[in-house]
Amino acid sequence: MVEFRLPVRVYYEDTDAAGIVYHANYLKFMERARTEWLRALGFEQTALARQYDLAFVVRTASLDFRRPARFDDNLVSVCRVWRYGRASIDFEQDVETLAGALLCRGKIRVGAVSLNQMSSKRMPDEIFLRIRDGS
């Protein structure tokens, strides 16, 4: 399973009153990694929408929190495809310290949808094959 790794710095806005990363922000860190993974494969989300009437939307998300991150920490958001189909992609995603300590693990399923119809849509071959070959 190929990993995509994205450095993430914790900003003050990411934390709660105790200076700990607010739980929902781990989803943001994971979203950023999926966006940059897609970009690394050569696909911009705006172009997918314009050219293919395609967007990827989160269908399910499950998070397992292990340890807290704090203001000004440098982290890594890790993205791995562990299963893909013609209309969905399942990711295992981690947020880790630079030393590799696991802070949060996520299982995220995204579905491909038509933006015009807001219904499930099969990925065009060009996209599906690049995801398959890049994973």
Domains (ranges, CATH) in the chain? 3-134 (3.10.129.10)
The catalytically annotated residue of 14, 16, 94, 133 is 16
At residue 97, the pLDDT reads 98
Please write the tens of the pLDDT for every residue from 69-79. Answer: 999 999 999 99
pLDDT for 24: 97
Decide if pLDDT at 80 tops 80.
yes
For the segment 110-114, the average pLDDT, to the nearest whole number, is: 98
Q: What is the mean pLDDT of the chain?
A: 96
Per the annotation, the verdict on 16 as an active-site residue is yes
Which comes out higher in pLDDT, residue 134 or 7?
A: 7
Q: Is the pLDDT of residue 134 over 90?
A: no
pLDDT(2) > 90? no
- The pLDDT tens digits for 28-47 are 999 999 999 999 999 999 99
The CA distance from 108 to 92, in Å, is 6
DSSP state letter for 15? B
| Look-up of token digits 């995220």 | 108
Q: Which residue has the tokens 């979203």?
A: 31
**Geometric angle at alpha carbon 90, from 85 and 126, rounded to 5°:** 40
